[in-house]
Structures are given as C-alpha cells and as structure tokens.
Amino acid sequence: MRTLLVITMVLVLLIFPSNALADIAPPAQPPGANPQPGAEGTNVRMVAETVTIAIQKDTPDGSLGIAEVTAIFTMQNLGEQAESMAVRFPVSANDGWGRFPEIKNMRVKVDGNNVAVRKITGEDPYGYKENVPWIAFDVTFPPGKDVAIQAVYTLEADGEMPFIQFDYIFSTGAAWKGTIGSASLFVRFPYEVSVLNVLPDPYNPEKVIFPDHQLSGSELKWSFTDFEPELGDNFKIEIVAPSLWQGVLKERQNVIKNSSDGEAWGRLAKLYKELAFSSRRRGFRVFDLSSDPGARMLYTLSVEAYENAVRLKPLDALWHAGFADLLSYYSYFAAFEGVDTRADAVRAMREIQTAISLAPDNPKVLEIAEEMTFYLDKGMVKTGDGYDYLWLTATPDLPTPTIDVRPETPTPETVILSTPSASPTTVTTPTAQPKRVLPICGSAFLIPLGFFLWVQRRK
C-alpha cells in the first residue's frame, strides 16, 4: 500500500506541478523594509513614518534601475522604564534563484547622529526558510520621549525589461507596540508620471494609482493611519525602466523638431508597441488589457505613429511590416477579452501584403508574415509560393485565440510620448465571441487521489 501511495503522490506532482500556470521570473532584489524591534513585548510604538523612494535618472551598468530610499521613523516609549535594544533592518532576501543580494549603502542616524551598524542574520522578509543578512544598531528609548530613526540606502529594482519594480515591506514594523500611527510613502520620479510609464498592479487592478495618489506631476503618495501591516499590505510599484523613459523624452523632442521624419515616426511606433505588450510577447503588459488604460493608449499611439511612418515612407517595407505586426498581435490578444478586432486584422493583412510586395525576400518581413499566420488563423494562410489573404475578400470571423508560447523579443531601445487622438479601431456588433482556452480547474489535482482510493476499495 505504501508503494502505491508514493506512486500516487509522484503522479500528482508530475501531472499538476504547483507552478504549472506560472512563467519563470528573473532574480528579485531585496526590498526596502520597516525596522523591527530587537526585543519581544516592547512598549515602544512606531508613532509615524515617512518613506521616500526617489527613483534615479541615471542607471548604472548592469542595473535595471535604482532608487535612493530615505525612511524616517518617529518612535515613542509608552512604558515607564527606558528600553535599550538592537533595532534591526533586513538588508537581503532570497532572489528566487538561491542567491541573496543585499541592499547597498545603508546609513543610519538616531536623533540626527550617525550610529554604527553591524551584520546579523534573521528571517527572510519574503517568508523563505533560509536566514538572510540583517543589520542591527543599538538604541535606547527613554520613557515618554520621541526618538527619531533615519535610514538611507540604495534600492535596486528587479523585474524584466522594459518593466521594473520597486518593493517596500511594511509588515516588519508590525512587531512594535500597538499599531503604526501614521505612514506616508512617496515615490518621486525624475520626469512626469502617467499611466503610460506606471503600470497597474496586475493582481490588484482595483488599486487605482491615477489620480488618487498623484501628488504632483512627478510624485505619487500613499497614506495610512493606525494600521498593523500584514504581508498583503506591503508595497510595490511597477514602472517603465527609467533608462528607457529617458529615451522616450529625448525621442519626443526629436519628433517635435522634425515631424516629417518618417524614420523617427517608425522608431517611435515600434517602441510604443513594445511598451504596450509584455516583455516576452505573450499578451499585454498586464494580464487584462481592460485594467490597463496605459496599454490601450500606447496601442493607439503606436497606430498613429505607424500611420505617419508609412505615409512619409510608403516604399519602406519594414515599417509596413512592423505596422502589420502591431495590428495582428493586438487583434489576437485583445480578442481574449471579447474585443471585436476584425478591422485591425484586415488592416494588418493589407500592410503585410504591401510589405511583401516591396521586399519579398526580406527576412524580417517574412518572419513577421509567418507569425501572422498564427495570429490571423484562417484569415491569412501560407501557400507554396506566398500567402492567401482570405479576409481581404470575405467578411472575417472573430479569431478564436489559443494559448501558445511565443519566442522572446529583444528589449526596446527607446519610445516616445505624445497624446492619443483616437481609440483603437474596432467593428461593432460581433457575430461571435472568442473562446478562451481554460486551464485545468483547481480541483483537478484530486483525480489521482480518487483513483488511489478507488483501487483501495477494490482490494
């Protein structure tokens, strides 16, 4: 019986691995975090905290992006006796690959005076089993008096280009006496922020950032009062990499200076496209297009820029092909959400037909055309010596998307910002709705267990 049980458990693990629906992820960087008391049962309360994450304009080589974090904590001893302890900060975390990168340049002040810090070990702030490096420093909290603690350090971004993420852990501050009285978290950018360069939280799309948390053109703010933070209260923000957005601003000025430059419009269109879509070309930059107004705007901006590119350079096959790629990709993935994208699909075929007529042997044009036969299934079909564009002579059906793993694409170089003048082209009143390919339901892992129990009853 034990042998059969082991076999059944192995089958469960092989058939239904816990990460079956998850993508691989790049290594993570350690987050910023609140301090933790070095003694249990403390009477010291965190009365207030102000955290500023200042995203830096310049990105060092080998980095996705950095921010300078300044965290100021007002602590108050509510007891009748002074408390002396080692206050702790986590400065590392498991990056998901078994490595433990550390926060850089940690400097600490207590009541305005620099204090010495020392390395210790403690629990992983992400909940992994391994102990990780922390820093500790000694503080005495007199009864009834405020003590100011300031920590300044460099925070590395993690993520996958062109999108990066900064994290801050509030939950390590829950061990102080009572609740955290008030907390303010600022995120400052070296440029104006909008839905184009700040992404929504894909797991919590109801957490609206704009305009609720926009303090100014380049600053966001979150405020909390009387809360005892749990893991779910920890903060993260996902943005377009600053190095990329610097290029956005530069290219915007270039196009403004010379609006007749078809090459510039083409570069702009290509990069808008790559900011709207996922870094691995597997959909849009967040799971649901409907929850990301920035991605919808970027698609519209890309369409407009490609229109200018092919108008100004009508004999350039690559800009026609790039436009076709944008339209066909959108028509396929937007159909997952019930968007009628037949007009986009038809327009994509016209553009790739033009590109092939201009450069029938161009490898990039042919690569895009080949991929489009997947996106425009039954609408564009490869033949022995070319392609049949069936939907150019007949009313297209709505595409029926299927899940597929697409190859990764190179990281975009630059992108440019302007104001969209129209929404993506659509055709109303669809005749059919696209079908989603659903994953195995959550209870399917019980199938091998049911088989095991049935065998036991048969014995």
Residue-wise pLDDT tens for the chain (459 aa)?
Answer: 434 433 433 333 333 332 222 222 334 666 777 778 866 688 999 999 999 999 999 999 989 999 999 999 999 999 999 999 999 988 887 776 777 788 888 999 999 999 999 999 888 877 776 788 888 999 999 999 999 999 999 999 999 999 999 999 888 888 899 999 999 999 999 999 999 999 998 667 667 788 888 888 999 999 999 988 888 888 999 999 999 888 888 888 889 999 999 999 999 999 899 899 998 888 999 888 988 999 999 999 999 999 999 999 999 999 999 999 999 999 999 998 999 999 999 999 999 999 999 999 999 999 999 999 999 988 999 988 889 998 888 766 655 554 444 444 343 333 333 333 333 333 333 334 333 333 333 334 343 434 333 333 333
Cβ-based burial of 429 (10 A; exposed 0-12, middle 13-18, buried ≥19): exposed
Query: 417, 252 in Cβ contact below 8 A?
Result: yes
46 vs 363: CA distance, rounded Å: 62
Tell me: do 208 and 329 sit in the same domain: no
Cβ within 8 Å of residue 48, ≥6 positions away: 73, 74, 180, 181, 182, 183
Q: Is residue 148 in some structural domain?
A: yes
Tell me: do 166 and 39 sit in the same domain: yes
Tell me: do 111 and 186 sit in the same domain: yes
* Phi–psi pair at 254, nearest 5 degrees: -60, -40
Angle at which helix 262-276 crosses helix 293-312, to 10 degrees, equals 160
CA 266 to chain centroid: 26
Structural domain boundaries, residue 85:
32-240
pLDDT at 410: 40
Domain boundary among 219, 240, 261: 240
Tell me: do 224 and 249 sit in the same domain: no
Domain boundary among 240, 271, 298: 240
Tell me: do 45 and 178 sit in the same domain: yes
Q: Is residue 147 in some structural domain?
A: yes
Tell me: do 331 and 359 sit in the same domain: yes
Tell me: do 210 and 266 sit in the same domain: no
Tell me: do 45 and 173 sit in the same domain: yes
> Which residue in this structure is represented by tokens 């001893």?
77
CATH number at residue 330: 1.25.40.10
pLDDT at 132: 85
Q: Is residue 434 in some structural domain?
A: no
Tell me: do 344 and 233 sit in the same domain: no
H/E stretch holding 245 reads helix 242-257
Q: Is residue 408 in some structural domain?
A: no
Q: Is residue 92 in some structural domain?
A: yes
Tell me: do 234 and 247 sit in the same domain: no
Give how far Cα 355 sits from Cα of 37, 274, 390, Å.
65, 20, 17
Tell me: do 208 and 289 sit in the same domain: no
Q: Is residue 9 in some structural domain?
A: no
The tally of domains found in the chain comes to 2
pLDDT at 232: 81
Tell me: do 154 and 297 sit in the same domain: no
Would you state the torsion angle of the CA atoms of residues 392, 393, 396, 402, taken in this order, to the nearest 10 degrees? -60
pLDDT at 47: 96
Domain boundary among 185, 213, 240: 240
Query: 294, 311 in Cβ contact below 8 A?
Result: no
Query: Which pTM does this prediction carry?
Result: 0.76
Identify the CA nearest to 383 among candidates 391, 392, 375, 373: 373
Q: Is residue 95 in some structural domain?
A: yes
pLDDT at 251: 83
CATH number at residue 206: 2.60.40.3680
Q: Is residue 13 in some structural domain?
A: no
